[in-house]
Amino acid sequence: MNRWKELCKSSTLLWNADLCLRGIAQVMLQNNPLSGALFLAAIVWGSYASNAPRLAIAALIATVVATLFAQWLRVDRDALEAGIYGYNATLVGLALATFLAPGALLWVYVVLGAIVSVVATLATSRALQPSGLSALTFPFVLTAWLMLLASYGFAGLSGTALPSGAVVAPFQAYPSDPLDFAGFLAGVFRSISQVFLKSDGIAALLLLAGLAVSSMAAAILAFAGAVLAVVTAHILGAESDLITGGLLGFSPVLSAIAIGTGFGRLGLRIAAYTALGIVFTVVTQAALNVALTPFAIPALTAPFVLVTWLFLLPRQCMETTQSAKSAGDQPDL
Amino acid sequence: MNRWKELCKSSTLLWNADLCLRGIAQVMLQNNPLSGALFLAAIVWGSYASNAPRLAIAALIATVVATLFAQWLRVDRDALEAGIYGYNATLVGLALATFLAPGALLWVYVVLGAIVSVVATLATSRALQPSGLSALTFPFVLTAWLMLLASYGFAGLSGTALPSGAVVAPFQAYPSDPLDFAGFLAGVFRSISQVFLKSDGIAALLLLAGLAVSSMAAAILAFAGAVLAVVTAHILGAESDLITGGLLGFSPVLSAIAIGTGFGRLGLRIAAYTALGIVFTVVTQAALNVALTPFAIPALTAPFVLVTWLFLLPRQCMETTQSAKSAGDQPDL
Amino acid sequence: MNRWKELCKSSTLLWNADLCLRGIAQVMLQNNPLSGALFLAAIVWGSYASNAPRLAIAALIATVVATLFAQWLRVDRDALEAGIYGYNATLVGLALATFLAPGALLWVYVVLGAIVSVVATLATSRALQPSGLSALTFPFVLTAWLMLLASYGFAGLSGTALPSGAVVAPFQAYPSDPLDFAGFLAGVFRSISQVFLKSDGIAALLLLAGLAVSSMAAAILAFAGAVLAVVTAHILGAESDLITGGLLGFSPVLSAIAIGTGFGRLGLRIAAYTALGIVFTVVTQAALNVALTPFAIPALTAPFVLVTWLFLLPRQCMETTQSAKSAGDQPDL
């Protein structure tokens, strides 16, 4: 790892490659080029497996463009070197290429989206400064939502995988589903891979490996988050296809990592608090799926952003508590 | 009252009961256990009268759960003892039990909602800190909206009293209604009782009594707010059923109390300013009723929150004015 | 100009007229009574040309009411004398009279909207204080959206020019349009006049003249913004009627002025950054047009507000850069 750092210092190209890999790693909140490489492998494999190499190409182009544009803006160097200006672009590239039909304008759109995601990242960080929160994937959600919505107004861009618009209607009953073990496993692993908009078990394993090389706690939280999300969604009676496709679990996976590692030490109280956040992210994912029905766009990771902000804002309260507890002056509940 | 305080100090159970009653009282911005008891009587009576005792039970369970959860989080003790962590849960319990069909999962939902309302209260307070605003019922609105929306995605929960979804369409003309005195009175009293999601005159009287024992000004403001709301809605030509059902008046009642008591002294200028806020809350209530049509969820007290924040943010401006006026260095307008 | 200032000091009536003219001028971010007079001429001409004198009357009444109400509230005198409390009311008056049918209640609505726009301006400024942003036309958008939405719930007010509600649906292909020179010119000039909700070339020339007397840079930015917006919209394949009607260009015109003059000096980097903001405002305009479809209300200048806030929040980053550049310690990119 030290040798890699030395190499990066000696070559502008390698230094930029390092920035891009860290950018990809930050999608799951890691600051580690090896994680980024494994995540990139997951993206490439997932794109290859779903016969759509343009997804990986869009993700890569977007990450590179954003990394260069951030340097043109002369952003804060520490944040730049942590990959903070890359991950939203990675996701914008993936989302635009996933939900829009291929074509020349798609690539213009990917480059524009990557650039705007950097501006949105700077703006969000600045707006959140007083609250002490970080931007999470809000810049991605904002940029992608606007660009996907706009595609309905442009003949040059058309949707392929976008949901169809409808007013909200009561849930249609369907034959009950016992959620067998295969379905459960599929739901758990796809929940992890859907963070990168993939529905693929091997991609999920690569992502878990990428997390593990950077932080074992993050890998465990991600897996536990996926399990708890699938169970919660099943108990509440969510549609089986959504559960086994991982579509109710990717936001909870991110919430698990962000809330679970958002406090100093992961004790029992924080673990319980994180579990609560995971459960409520499932509810919020279902809620935003419904709320976005009339707009014919996907919820993306908005539920993760909303619930994580909600659960990290009272951080002060939990932390004074935590330190008070370690000081031993309050009985454990 | 002093004897009650002594009693509460001596017993943990009574102390918690006091917290819960103050929590219920805070729904109408009062910090008084006797108000809470009268409000609780209004809830119980209203539930009994509408043949749905589960409403009162849900409100009570939610308030208790939130009060205990807040203590587990070790929140700020002053706020806790003022009932700040209870009122949003009371409303979440009432709303979930009102709009969703009874069943085992409803009670899981009520407990989850109560817990999340505490997190949302902490988060909202923290986010509003720089602006000097208080959270009002925003945590309730956010939690209940997300959970009601999500119910459309879960087979385990189904709506009973939820509006049906539709795109916005021009207002349908209906035979003109002279709003006779009986309709006017019904509208005024139900506007007050709808603060607790009830449509009941006796509940309204209990609520007014509860306000009066804590603050005569609050009781007068609530009543005046209801009258002004009904008159405004009628002049603008709102649907008669909405007016007489109190469904355009409950947010204005809360705005009246919050804006009217939000400044030091209630002089003529503040009274005029409050009246303006009440009128615009009626407009905002109608607006949000329309805006939420495609989502098939009710506006709840969102109009109150939005307009009160809007009218209290310029407080500095009105207050320097007020003090300047009392200092006599500016002519009265 | 100095003589005008002297005259205003000597007469309360002229002083108030000056405030109103500056208020109208602030619609395009100018603090200049002569700009205001030329903009007012554009409004009057546009209303006359479209055979709807009530538009100009509503704009004028709203501006006067807001200016007087702001004085009643005893707002900050510097902001008052810069016209900050007038421009949102001007736009509210224009929008309500444009989108709602004439009638007695329309005028009540115009007065109410003008008053609320002042409260909303104070509230927005206060809320944005920590971020260093200005309110732009957000108070107008908020007030007008709520009042237009509410009109669907009131028999006393009915829409005339409001869009009809629908769920979002894929873009309908239409015969390709080469955008001939006449269409291009129409699009550019109407983009400028649509800032005041007019579709009129002479009004556009009056507006450009009004900008030029206050700031030649603002006039050039407005024109360049309109050109770039029309070209961008055409390349992306937007509907021809929207382009030639100026309906995708008025927000970009305002973004051009606000972003382009939002930094110290307009160098090449800021110009490129502003161009990016203009392009993204076109995308956002299309996005909000789509997003508001189910609500049957127009986007107004919300895209301008959203994108300008987004692009001005990272100002610190661009400015330290700018000063660093002028200090010569960084190579020019």
Q: What is the ipTM of this complex?
A: 0.93
Is B68 at the interface with chain A, CB within 8 A? no
* Of residues C145 and B315, more confidently modeled: C145
| The pLDDT of residue B329 | 39
Using an 8 Å Cβ cutoff, are C195 and C27 in contact? yes
Contact C150 B314 (CB under 8 A): no
pLDDT at A174: 59
| Partner-chain residue, chosen from B130, B173, B238, that has the shortest CB–CB distance to C153 | B238
CB B218, CB B29: distance < 8 Å: yes
First to last CA, chain A: 42
Which tokens sit at A59? 């993700």
Nearest 5°: CA angle at A223, between A121 and A52? 60
Average pLDDT over residues B149-168: 87
Give the pLDDT confidence of B37-96 residue by residue, as tens digits.
Answer: 999 999 999 999 999 999 999 999 999 999 999 999 989 899 999 999 999 999 999 999
Name the closest residue on chain B to residue C70, using Cα atoms: B317
Band (pLDDT 50/70/90 cuts) for residue C71 is very high
Q: Cβ(C281)–Cβ(C229) under 8 Å? A: yes
The rounded distance, in Å, linking the Cα atoms of C84 and C88 is: 8
Contacts of residue A182, defined as CB under 8 A and 6 or more positions apart, other chains included, come to: none
CA atoms within 13 A on the CB side of C148: 29
CB contact under 8 A, C283 and A156: no
pLDDT number for residue A326: 42
Reported as a pLDDT band with limits 50, 70 and 90, residue C327 is: very low
Residue with tokens 């109390």: B257
Band of the pLDDT at A322, cuts 50, 70, 90? very low
C291–chain B Cβ distance below 8 A for any pair: no
Are A187 and A244 in contact by the 8 Å Cβ rule? The answer is yes
C126 and B130 within 8 Å at the Cβ level: the answer is no
Residues A117-131: b if buried by 16+ CB within 10 A, e if exposed: bbbbbbbbbbbbeeb
- Does the pLDDT value for residue A67 go beyond 80? yes
H or E, element range at A229: helix A216-236
Cβ contact C91:C27 at 8 Å = yes
What is d(CA A44, CA A51) in angstroms, rounded to the nearest whole number?
Answer: 10
Cβ–Cβ gap C146/B239 under 8 Å: no
Strand spans (E) along chain C: none
Mean pLDDT of all residues in chain B?
Answer: 91
Give residue C163's pLDDT.
Answer: 85
Q: Are C33 and C25 in contact (CB under 8 A)?
A: yes
Query: Average pLDDT, stretch A270-294?
Result: 96
Task: Identify the pLDDT of residue A1.
Answer: 75
Mean pLDDT calculated for residue range B90-115: 97
CA of C326 vs chain A CAs: smallest distance (Å)? 14
Worst-scoring range by mean pLDDT, A153-162, B32-41, B81-90, B96-105? A153-162
Contact B93, B61 (CB under 8 A): yes
The distance of Cα A29 from the centroid of its chain, to the nearest Å, equals 9
3-state secondary structure of B163: coil
* pLDDT for res A254: 98
Q: Is C175 a residue whose pLDDT tops 80?
A: no
Please tell me the predicted confidence (pLDDT) of residue C172: 67
Closest-CA residue of chain B to C130: B130
Write down the pLDDT at residue C199: 92
Q: Nearest residue on chain A to C330, judged by CA atoms?
A: A74
Give 3-state DSSP helix, strand, coil % of chain A, rounded to 5: 70, 0, 25
* pLDDT for A323: 46
| pLDDT > 90? residue A2 | no
Residue B104 near chain C (CB below 8 Å): no
Residue C323 is predicted with a pLDDT of: 46
**Token code pair at residue A260:** 């679970």
CA distance C252 to C301: 9
Does the pLDDT of residue B307 top 50, yes or no? yes
Chain C contact probe: residue of A80, A119, A124 with most C CBs at under 10 A: A119
- A to C CB pairs, distance under 8 Å: 117
- List beta partners, residue C102: none
Query: What does the alpha-carbon distance between residue C198 and residue C192 come to, in Å, rounded to a whole number?
Result: 9
Q: Which two tokens stand for residue B232?
A: 């405004």
- Phi/psi zone of residue A103: left (φ > 0), alpha (ψ -120 to 50 degrees), beta? left
Q: Which two tokens stand for residue C50?
A: 């479209």
Contacts of A249 (CB under 8 A, 6+ apart): A187, A188, A190, A191, A192, A194, A225, A226, A229, A230, A233, A243, A282
pLDDT given for residue A318 in this prediction: 67
- Predicted pLDDT of residue A15: 95
Looking at residue A320, its pLDDT comes to 55
Percent of chain A clearing pLDDT 90 (strictly above): 78
Per-residue confidence (pLDDT) for residue B325, from 0 to 100:
42
Average of per-residue pLDDT across A24-46: 97
Q: A112 and C314 in contact by Cβ < 8 A? A: no
Handedness of CA A97, A99, A105, A110 (dihedral sign): negative
Residue A136's CB: how many other CB atoms inside 10 A?
Answer: 24
Nearest to A232 by CA among A318, A303, A306, A134: A303
B120/A contact by beta carbon, under 8 A: yes
Cα(B106)–Cα(B96) distance, integer angstroms: 8
Kindly list the residues from chain A whose CB atom is less than 8 angstroms away from the CB atom of residue C131.
Answer: 126-127
Q: Per-residue confidence at C312, pLDDT binned at 50, 70, 90?
A: very high
Taking an 8 Å cut-off on Cβ atoms, the answer to whether B311 and C76 are in contact is no
Beta-ladder partners of B20: none
Q: What residues have CB less than 8 Å from C53, skipping those under 6 apart?
A: C47
> Minimum mean pLDDT among B8-12, B101-105, C174-178: which range?
C174-178
Q: Which domains does chain C have, with CATH numbers?
A: 7-162 (1.10.3430.10), 170-325 (1.10.3430.10)
What is the SS3 assignment for B298?
coil
Q: What's the Cα-to-Cα distance from C201 to each of A119, A327, C37, C80, C288, rounded to whole Å?
A: 34, 73, 18, 31, 25
Q: Please, what is the average pLDDT of chain C?
A: 91
Average pLDDT score over residue span C115-119: 98
How far apart are the C-alpha atoms of B46 and B204, rounded to whole Å?
Answer: 9
Contact C38, C192 (CB under 8 A): no
| Confidence at A319, pLDDT banded by 50, 70, 90 | low
Beta bridge partners of C238: A154
Q: Which of C126, C131, C142 to mutate to test the interface with B (most CBs of B within 10 A)?
A: C126
The pLDDT of residue B324 is above 60: no
pLDDT of residue A264: 75
Residue C238 touches chain A, beta carbons under 8 Å: yes
Answer yes or no: is pLDDT of C317 > 80.
Answer: no
Residue A173 with chain B: CB contacts under 8 Å = 155
Chain A CB contacts of B119 under 8 Å are: 276, 310-311, 314
Q: Do A29 and A257 contact (CB within 8 A), yes or no?
A: yes
- Contact with chain B for residue A174, Cβ under 8 A: yes
Token readout for B255 is: 């705005």
Which pLDDT does position A164 carry in this prediction?
80
Q: What angle do CA B8, B13, B16 make, to 5 degrees?
A: 75
- Per mean pLDDT, which of B10-19, B258-267, C86-95 is the most reliable? C86-95
In this predicted structure, the answer to whether residue C40 has a pLDDT above a threshold of 80 is yes
Distant-in-sequence, close-in-space partners of B181: CB < 8 Å, separation ≥ 6: none
- Does pTM top 0.90 for this prediction? yes
Per-residue pLDDT at B150 exceeds 90: yes
For position B174, what pLDDT does the model report?
60
pLDDT for C179 equals 77
Residue A271 in this model has a pLDDT that exceeds 90: yes
Question: Which residues from A are below 8 Å from B150, CB to CB?
Answer: 236, 283-284, 286-287, 290
Query: Under an 8 A CB cutoff, do A236 and B74 touch?
Result: no
Whole-number pLDDT of residue B214: 96
Give the position of tokens 């990272």: C314
DSSP state of A150: H
> How far does B250 lie from chain C, in Å, by closest CA?
16
Question: What is the least distance, in Å, from the CA of B92 to any CA of chain C?
Answer: 25
Q: Which residue has the tokens 């454990």?
A: A332
Residues of B in contact with C154 (CB under 8 A): 171, 236-238, 286
